[in-house]
């Protein structure tokens, strides 16, 4: 499947807190979808494949609004925040096998002005694959939210490898620094120091407030087509050179894993790099799903950018900042741009590979990696090139 499919259009809405987006959940995602289609130079009616984000809309609904009269490929990857990148793989398979010509994936939500994550934890938890286990074995003891689930892994990592609060802070600071170069980022013009990071209130130890992703309104979208069709379109195609997604084991119970650090990405990353025929060190940047700071550390390890246990040191001394060894989340990520369910990471990877990232452009970027993380550690990864 290497290089047989391309991302040919990306788009995003503005990102909001405060008054919110002023749009419905559906309307917000339509706006992003239309922006991605305009970017690709496609009419909405040409779309014949739609892959909605889990629980945020239906292919039928998007097709009806967009005027897609010939929808023939409609599926959802049920991997939470890992879904956008995992969907790149499914979309690539669909367009390279002829199941669809143009696959659209919108993702977005009113995560600030709509129901907030904290207020809907039980409904949210019920919808994920391990929902009944969380309901019967986690919730009764007060383990109710993703920040808490993943904090269990972070705490164990700190115990086994000596990972420190300052190292988690280095992730938060790098994302915040990048957001200063991204006018669309919610945290643009709000810089942060290590002192401010360490002084932020503890939410669920070891996670402080500034270890946690933003809650924002916003949406983004991509359009994928075959490499052949991509040549006729408006923009320089971004090739999907390698892509894979996988589950941790067991995927439905975070506590019972023999190796608690082995997540979906541990399985997926070697497959994606092998498909692309490259190594992690070949990447010019990585957009890593940053629901919380530690997940960046852990994914850098499990994707093979560094050895397990070395992620804490890897993120320090500017190595993951622009100009460093591996710039990570050049848009600011979920921590400092906006929480667009991982779709923002795909959009940023495409912009970097097109050379459209303006003040935050990675010089001569030709190969990039984007990851997704969802539910109890589902993982996805794509290796993209221009």
Closest CA to 212 of 176, 263, 179: 176
Question: Which one, 97 or 255, has the nearer CB to other proteins?
Answer: 255
Q: DSSP 3-state assignment of 275? A: helix
CA distance linking residue 168 with residue 155, whole number of Å: 12
- Least separation in angstroms between CB 204 and other proteins: 5
Residues 247, 82 contacting (CB under 8 angstroms): no
- Least separation in angstroms between CB 261 and other proteins: 11
CA distance linking residue 296 with residue 335, whole number of Å: 11
Would you list the DSSP string of 309-371?
T-HHHHTSTTTTSTTSSS-B-TT-HHHHT---TTHHHHHHHHHHHHT--GGGPPTT--EEEEE
- Least separation in angstroms between CB 74 and other proteins: 30
CA distance linking residue 226 with residue 221, whole number of Å: 17
The footprint of other proteins (CB under 8 A) covers 118, 121-122, 126, 132-133, 135-145, 147-148, 151-156, 159, 201-207, 250, 253, 255-256, 260
Question: Which one, 65 or 164, has the nearer CB to other proteins?
Answer: 164
Largest CA distance in the chain: 56
CA distance linking residue 95 with residue 91, whole number of Å: 6
Question: Which one, 150 or 273, has the nearer CB to other proteins?
Answer: 150
The residue whose two tokens read 């195609």 is 237
Closest CA to 272 of 235, 311, 299: 299
Closest CA to 380 of 340, 334, 335, 346: 346
Question: Which one, 131 or 324, has the nearer CB to other proteins?
Answer: 131
- Least separation in angstroms between CB 125 and other proteins: 9
- Least separation in angstroms between CB 115 and other proteins: 14
Question: Which one, 18 or 201, has the nearer CB to other proteins?
Answer: 201
CA distance linking residue 318 with residue 339, whole number of Å: 23
- Least separation in angstroms between CB 7 and other proteins: 35
Question: Which one, 205 or 228, has the nearer CB to other proteins?
Answer: 205
Q: At what angle do helices 264-276 and 293-302 cross, to 10 degrees?
A: 50
- Least separation in angstroms between CB 26 and other proteins: 27
Question: Which one, 159 or 364, has the nearer CB to other proteins?
Answer: 159
Question: Which one, 140 or 323, has the nearer CB to other proteins?
Answer: 140
- Least separation in angstroms between CB 151 and other proteins: 4
The first and second tokens of residue 310, run together, are: 């070395």
């Amino acid at each position: 499947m290497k290089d047989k499919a391309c991302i040919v259009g990306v788009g995003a809405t503005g990102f909001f807190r405060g008054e919110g987006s002023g749009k419905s959940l559906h309307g917000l995602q339509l706006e992003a979808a239309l922006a991605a289609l305009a970017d690709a130079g496609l009419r909405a009616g040409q779309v014949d494949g739609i892959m909605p984000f889990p629980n945020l809309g239906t292919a039928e609904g998007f097709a009806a609004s967009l005027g897609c009269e010939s929808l023939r490929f409609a599926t959802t990857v049920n991997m939470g925040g890992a879904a956008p990148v995992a969907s790149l793989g499914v979309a690539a398979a669909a367009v390279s096998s002829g199941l669809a010509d143009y696959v659209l994936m919108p993702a977005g939500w009113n995560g600030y002005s709509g129901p907030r994550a904290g207020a809907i934890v039980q409904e949210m938890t019920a919808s994920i694959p391990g929902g009944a286990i969380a309901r019967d074995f986690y919730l009764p003891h007060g383990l109710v939210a993703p920040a808490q689930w993943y904090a269990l892994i972070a705490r164990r990592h700190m115990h086994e490898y000596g990972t420190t609060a300052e190292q988690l802070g280095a992730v938060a600071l790098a994302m915040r620094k990048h957001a200063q170069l991204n006018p669309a980022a919610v945290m643009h013009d709000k810089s942060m120091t290590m002192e401010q990071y360490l002084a932020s209130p503890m939410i669920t130890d070891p996670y402080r407030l500034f270890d946690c992703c933003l809650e924002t309104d916003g949406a983004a979208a991509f359009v994928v087509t075959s490499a052949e069709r991509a040549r006729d379109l408006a923009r320089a195609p971004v090739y999907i050179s390698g892509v894979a997604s996988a589950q941790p084991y067991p995927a439905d119970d975070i506590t019972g894993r023999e190796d608690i650090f082995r997540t979906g990405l541990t399985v997926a990353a070697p497959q994606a790099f092998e498909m692309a025929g490259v190594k992690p060190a070949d990447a010019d940047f990585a957009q890593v799903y940053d629901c919380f700071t530690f997940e960046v550390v852990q994914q850098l390890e499990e994707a093979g950018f560094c050895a397990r246990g070395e992620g804490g040191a890897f993120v320090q001394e500017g190595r993951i900042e622009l100009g460093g060894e591996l710039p990570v989340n050049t848009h600011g990520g979920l921590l400092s741009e906006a929480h667009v369910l991982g779709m923002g990471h795909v959009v940023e990877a495409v912009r970097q590979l097109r050379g459209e990232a303006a003040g935050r452009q990675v010089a001569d970027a030709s190969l990039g990696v984007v990851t997704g993380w969802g539910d109890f550690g589902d993982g996805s990864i794509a290796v993209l090139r221009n």
